[in-house]
Structure 1
Amino acid sequence: MLSARIRLVKLKVFKSTLVNYLIVKEQLELIQT
C-alpha cells in the first residue's frame, strides 16, 4: 500500500516537472524568434 502511494507521488512530481519543462521550453522558443 505504501509503495503504491510513493509511486503515485513520484508520478505526480514527474508530470508536473514535465509540464514545467514544456512551458519553459515554449517560452524560450518564443524569446528566440
Structure 2
Amino acid sequence: MFVIKLVLNKTHMVGVILMACALIFQALKIVIVPIA
C-alpha cells in the first residue's frame, strides 16, 4: 500500500512538472511569435 502511494506521488509530480513545462512553453510561444 505504501509503495503504491509512493508511485502515485511520483507520477503525480511528473504530471505537475509536465503541466508546468507545457504552460511555460505556451507562454514562450505567445512572447516569441510576435517578435519573429
TM-score with structure 2 length normalisation? 0.73
Name the % identity. 18
Deviating 4+ runs (over 3 angstroms): none
Q: Point out where structure 2 has 5 or more consecutive residues left out of the alignment.
A: 29-36
TM-score with structure 1 length normalisation? 0.78
Aligned residues: 28
In our comparison, the structure showing a higher alpha carbon Rg is 2
